[in-house]
Amino acid sequence: MAANQADAATYSQGVRIWMAVMSIAFLSSVIFAPWKAGARWILAATLVNILGLILIKAFFPAFSRTMIGTSVHLIFWTPVLWMIWRPSAATRRISDFEGRSGLIYRVWFLAASAIMATSLVLDARTAIGWAL
């Protein structure tokens, strides 16, 4: 855990702010998780990400936090975005967005999805950079 924090401390302020935005957006899924499947998927992805960072760093200390985080994001977040946005989930999404609480959930869901998708694009760019 300390090694991950030390790695994160070397990131630029912009990256640290982005990580804070992701943390707030994704961990706030706990508010909706008891009732909304999309929130449960995002919460699960967040927990896998945290666990992956800790365990992989513990077993492979030479791997950087960037390498671990990028890999975990690309492997686990891509299917999560598919699961919450797949066409067969449209009916559930529509019913989840109904009513006053549905509006709050919709705003959170769209923001969290956009943040996750943006992060995946940035992670893919990083991974492509490794390959070149």
pLDDT for res 1: 62
What residues in the chain have per-residue pLDDT under 50? none
54 near 1, Cβ under 8 Å?
Answer: yes
Residue 27's closest CA among 55, 46, 13? 46
CA-CA distances (angstroms) from residue 13 to 17, 18, 20, 124? 6, 9, 10, 21
pLDDT for res 122: 96
pLDDT for res 10: 82
